[in-house]
Structure 1
Amino acid sequence: MAGDGTIGKACDVLEQVAAFARPVRFAELLESSDFPKATLYRFLQTLTNQGMLSYDPDRQTYAPGMRLVRLAHAAWTQSSLAPIARPFLDSLSRETGETVHLAQLDSSQVLYVDKRNAAQPIEMYSQAGKVGPAYCTGVGKAMMAFLEDEALNKAVSQQSYHRFTDKTLASEKALRADLDLIRGRGYAVDDEEHEPGIICIACPILTSGGRVLGAISITGSTERMNFDQLESWVPRVRRVAEQIGTEAQAWRFPETRTNAHNDRMQAT
């Protein structure tokens, strides 16, 4: 964020506060902050004055403010696939009885924007609002596989390749080989690559022009299913992804609007 100046640094502080997922004291923030004490305090004061953070004087803690909540709600409504996808997720969840995820890319990472729990819930990392790795999750690989070359190269270069399990794709070469397979068959799999015992199949959500909007997945546990059972749902998941893509393009992400924006940007 060094090149983004003051605004970038303020965003870093907002993210740091939000990452605690609870009201947090100044000392806790300072302990994990890259900023000097005076600089961090100044950012916290400014963000609090602007309503982006709230401060509890009795507990001496900071938390996301109501202005930030309003902005988040507007972003959820206007930019997230979640409102459009909700009825499709509900239907798929009822039909399969398995965990359903909806995700979008956020700076080459996966942002889980919605989730439906299985009839028999299983413990796993993903929750709506959480950010996860793209290179070892079904939804992440499904989205990356269909990015245009420039965006793909950027996304691949920004992966951490940390080995979560023995099956994690821990190199760019391994990831690119898997992405080639995904493009060929039209869906991705997570074979215990992010979490032991967790498997999934995922399909990209695309516009009619092939632009990546997000991805949808069905996730299960190896304790009660195998890939043959999970992959039997691929046609249904693909159809749901197509339906969400059609609805999203018509109402929120039309190609014509994007192209017009790009033309204006190039002209300036």
Structure 2
Amino acid sequence: MAAETGADGTVGKALDVLDMVAARGRPVRFSELLAQSAYPKATLYRLLQTLTNQGMLAHDAASGSYRVGIRLLRLAHAAWATASLAPIARPWLDQLSAETGETIHLAQMDQGQVLYVDKRNAAKPVEMFSGAGKVGPAYCTGVGKAMLAFLPEPELEAALARQSFHRFTPGTLDSPQKLRAELQAIRACGHALDREEHEPGIICCAAPILTRTGQVIGALSVTSTTARSTLEALEAQADRLRDSAAQIAGAAEDWRFPQ
């Protein structure tokens, strides 16, 4: 069900509907949205009509389905170019990809969750959840834990409250207490590991991207599978990851990364 938007009013409701359509990753019919939405049929129809008129959604009359509109795509591209680390970090992602032959991820924090903003596939690509534009859990991914570990306590508390602590695998940290202990260890060593915590067979080593004042602006990881690598082999890349993360942070600050 869509969350109530309270004081956000019509704009908040419209964004809820946009989120519902975008999250499907495919054209979605009105009946599907109505089943998911907390809004009355007439309200949902009016919001969809307004979003379509404004180019934020596109409506296919033949199938009766809605999909993301061109105007929203333009806005998303502008956001990627001006507020995402992706354009800045590209050279370092390319270099890490070439040197390791493994999957490289670049992520930022979004409402306590992980937003993957760029990715380089391994020389022999592996099917996995992550992909540019996808949102994943923070508590059970390397990049997520790397960012959580360096958040100020008030921000960390708010982020932890947004975690589901669903147990994806036997290795998932399924409580705030277990996660906090892990975050303390990450702060001490400067990097995080994913021990098949989100997906079976997927492992990674991740480093936070921190400004000179210690503000978390993203995370970087090298990811592989248990079939062709080990945590020890990935952890051997930690120094390289931290060095790349520091260079990305420096470039971002020189570019006046938005606060």
Q: CA deviation at 1:58?
A: 2.4
- Distance in structure 2 (CA, Å) of the matches to 1:33 and 1:153: 29
- Distance in structure 2 (CA, Å) of the matches to 1:227 and 1:50: 49
Match of 1:59 among 31, 54, 63: 63
Match of 2:54 among 50, 53, 64: 50
Segments of 4+ moved more than 6 angstroms = none
Report matched runs for 1:187-226 at 5 Å: 187-226=191-230
Q: CA deviation at 1:226?
A: 1.0
Kindly provide the amino acid, as one letter, of the partner of residue 79 in structure 1. Answer: A
Residue 247 of structure 1 aligns with which residue?
Answer: 251
Residue 241 of structure 2 aligns with which residue?
Answer: 237
Assess, with a 3 A threshold, how the Cα gap between structure 1 residues 63 and 252 changes in structure 2: closer, same or farther. farther
SS in 1 for 2:188: helix
Q: CA deviation at 1:207?
A: 0.6
- Distance in structure 2 (CA, Å) of the matches to 1:154 and 1:62: 34
Q: Deviations over 1:63-93 (max 9, x none)?
A: 1111111111111111000000111101100
Q: CA deviation at 1:2?
A: 2.5
Residue 5 of structure 2 aligns with which residue?
Answer: 2
- Distance in structure 1 (CA, Å) of the matches to 2:21 and 2:232: 43
Match of 2:110 among 106, 110, 116: 106
Match of 1:75 among 72, 76, 79: 79
Task: Name structure 1 gaps, 5 residues minimum.
Answer: 259-268
Kindly provide the amino acid, as one letter, of the partner of residue 185 in structure 1. Answer: C
Residue 22 of structure 1 aligns with which residue?
Answer: 26
Report matched runs for 1:176-191 at 5 Å: 176-191=180-195
Kindly provide the amino acid, as one letter, of the partner of residue 200 in structure 2. Answer: P
Contact 1:17-1:24 within 8 A present in 2 as well = yes
- Higher mean alpha-carbon deviation, 79-88 vs 56-65, is at 56-65
Pairwise CA RMSD: 1.1
Q: CA deviation at 1:145?
A: 0.5
Report matched runs for 1:70-219 at 5 Å: 70-219=74-223
Alignment length (residue pairs): 255
Contact 1:136-1:169 within 8 A present in 2 as well = yes
Kindly provide the amino acid, as one letter, of the partner of residue 150 in structure 2. Answer: F
- Distance in structure 2 (CA, Å) of the matches to 1:60 and 1:123: 32
- Distance in structure 1 (CA, Å) of the matches to 2:55 and 2:227: 47
SS in 2 for 1:216: strand
**TM-score (norm: length of structure 1):** 0.93
- Distance in structure 2 (CA, Å) of the matches to 1:66 and 1:122: 31
Kindly provide the amino acid, as one letter, of the partner of residue 13 in structure 2. Answer: K
**TM-score (norm: length of structure 2):** 0.96
Q: Deviations over 1:209-234 (max 9, x none)?
A: 11000000000101111111111111
Q: CA deviation at 1:23?
A: 1.6
Q: CA deviation at 1:6?
A: 1.6
Q: Identity of counterpart residues, as a percentage?
A: 63
Q: Deviations over 1:33-76 (max 9, x none)?
A: 22221111010011111111111222322111111111111111
Task: Name structure 2 gaps, 5 residues minimum.
Answer: none
